[in-house]
Amino acid sequence: MSNANQGSYGKSVVFASFLAIFVLFAYRSIFAILKGPMQAEMGWTGAQTSLGFSIMMTVYAIAAFISGMLLDKFGTKLTFTIAAVFGCLGFVVTGTVYSIPLYFFAFGVLGGVCCGMLWVSSTISVRKWYIGNSYAKAFGFAFAGAPLGQLILTFIIKSYLASHQEASAWRTCAFALGGMTLVLMLIAAFFAKKGPESYGMQPKGAAPLSAGAARAAAPEYLWSLGQAFSSYPLWAGIFCLFFSMIAEFLIWTQIVSYWIMDLKLEASTAANMYMVIGFCGIFTMPLLGALADKVVVWSGNEPKGRKTMLFGAPLVGAIAVALLFVQESTGALAVGVIACVLFAIYWAVVPGGTVGYVGSIYGRRTLGKIWGLATLLVMGSGPFIGSFLGGYLKDATGNYRASLMIAGGSFILSALFALSMPKSIKTPEEKAQR
C-alpha cells in the first residue's frame, strides 16, 4: 500500500486513541465526583471507597501488560473491543452495588480490565505511527481526550447530581457511563489500525540521533524484555512515571474533597475548579506536544529532548501543590485556579513523555511488550499507593494536608529521575562488538 495513505491512517489511529483515552478518564477522573455520593449512600469510610479505585488501578496494571502483548501480535482492534465489553459492564454493575465486595469486583476488576486495555494500546499505537519530531504533537491530540472527557463528564454529572437530590442519583450516572463506554469503544475499535508496517507504510517523523546517520539507517534492534529491563534508561523512565503517578493520584482522587472539607468551598465551586484542569488540558496537550517536538529538534537528540520536558513538568506539578497551600492560607480562589492550570501543564507532558522517551531508546517494534510490563509495574503500585494513601491519611489526620505534602515530594523525585535519564544506549550487539 502506498505511503500516500499514511496521513489518513495515522489520523485514524490518533482519533481512535483519542476516544480510548476519553473513556479511560471516564473511569479515572469521574471517581472524584462520584466518590462522595457513593460514600454517603453506602456509609462507607473514605479508605473503603478509595480502595475500590486502588483495586481498579492494580487490575489496570495487570491488564495493561496483557494488552501490550496482544497489541504487538494482534493490533489495537482486539484490545479496544475487550475494553468496550468490560468497561460497559464495570459501570453498569457498579450502578447496582450495595456491598463492598461487589463494588470491588465491578469498579475494581471489570473497570480495571477496561482501563488496562486502553492506556498501553492507545499510547503505543500512536508511537508506532509517529516518531521523532512528529510524536508528541500527535500524542497531544490523542491525549486531549483525557481533559476533554474530564471537563465534559464532570460538568454533566455534577449538574445532574445537583438537580437530583436523591441518594441514588449517582447510580443513573453509572448506567449512562456504561452505555457511553460501549458505544465509544466500538467506534474506536472500528478506526484502530495495526502498525504501519502491516500496510507497507513507514511511521511519520524524523528522529535526530547524535550517534550518526549510519545508526539511523540501520535496522531497528529487537529488544527482549530481559535486555530492556536490565538497562538503566527503562528504569529511569519507570521511576519518573512512578513518582508522578503517586503525586497525580493523590491529587486527582482527593482534590475535590480537599476543597470542600478543608477549605469549606461549595461542592459546585470545587467541581468547577476541578474542571479548570480539564479545560486547560484541552489546549496544553497539543500545544506542549508541539513544543516537546521542537525541543527534540533543538536538542538534536530525541531522548535528550524528551528528558528535558520530563524534568520540567513534575517541577511544575510541585509548584501547583505549593499553591494549594497558599490558597488554603489566603482563601484566594484565583490561586487555586492557577494551581489547576499548572496541573494541566504537568499532565500534558509526563504520561506521554515517558512513553516517548522509552520509545526513542528501545524502538517501536517491541515497545508494546516492554511498555506493557513497565506499565504493570508503575500502574500496579503508584496509583494504588496514591489513591489509597489519600483516603487513609484523611481518615487518620482529619484533613488532606499530609496528602498534599507527599504529592509535592513525589513530583520532585519524579523530576530527579528524569534528570538521570541517559541520552542514548548501546544495544547488546553494539556492546558485543567492542
Lowest-pLDDT range of 173-177, 200-204, 356-360: 200-204
Distances (CA, A) of 360 to 69, 240, 307, 356, 412: 19, 16, 11, 6, 24
Residue in this structure with the C-alpha cell 450495595, named with its chain if needed: 98
For the chain, count helices (H), then strands (E). 19, 0
pTM of the model: 0.78
Question: Confidence band (pLDDT; 50, 70, 90) for 208?
Answer: low
Q: Please, what is the angle between helix 382-397 and helix 367-379, to 10°?
A: 10
The yes-or-no verdict on residue 338 having pLDDT over 60 is yes
What span, in angstroms and rounded, lies between the C-alpha atoms of 219 and 197? Answer: 13
What pLDDT does residue 246 have?
93
Sign of the torsion angle spanned by Cα atoms 429, 430, 433, 434: negative
CA distance 51 to 100: 10
pLDDT at 326: 95
**pLDDT value for 35:** 81
Q: CA–CA separation, 76 vs 86, rounded Å?
A: 16
CB proximity list for 364: less than 8 A, separation 6 or greater: 127, 128, 131, 195, 203, 220
Cα–Cα distance, 77 to 16 (Å, whole number): 10
pLDDT at position 215 is 45
170-189 average pLDDT score: 94
- Helix (H) or strand (E) holding 6, with range, is helix 6-42
**Average pLDDT, integer, range 358-371:** 85
Per CATH, the homologous superfamily of domain 17-194+223-423 is MFS general substrate transporter like domains (1.20.1250.20)
Which amino acid belongs to residue 46?
G
At residue 20, does pLDDT exceed 90? yes
**Cβ count near 6 (within 10 Å):** 18
pLDDT above 70 for 210: no
Name which of 99-108, 212-221, 423-432 the model is least confident about: 212-221
Stated length of the chain: 434
**Per-chain mean pLDDT for the chain:** 86
Residues 181 and 84 sit within 8 Å (Cβ to Cβ): yes
What is the chain's alpha carbon radius of gyration, rounded to the nearest angstrom? 21
State pLDDT tens for residues 32-61. 778 888 888 888 887 788 788 878 878 888
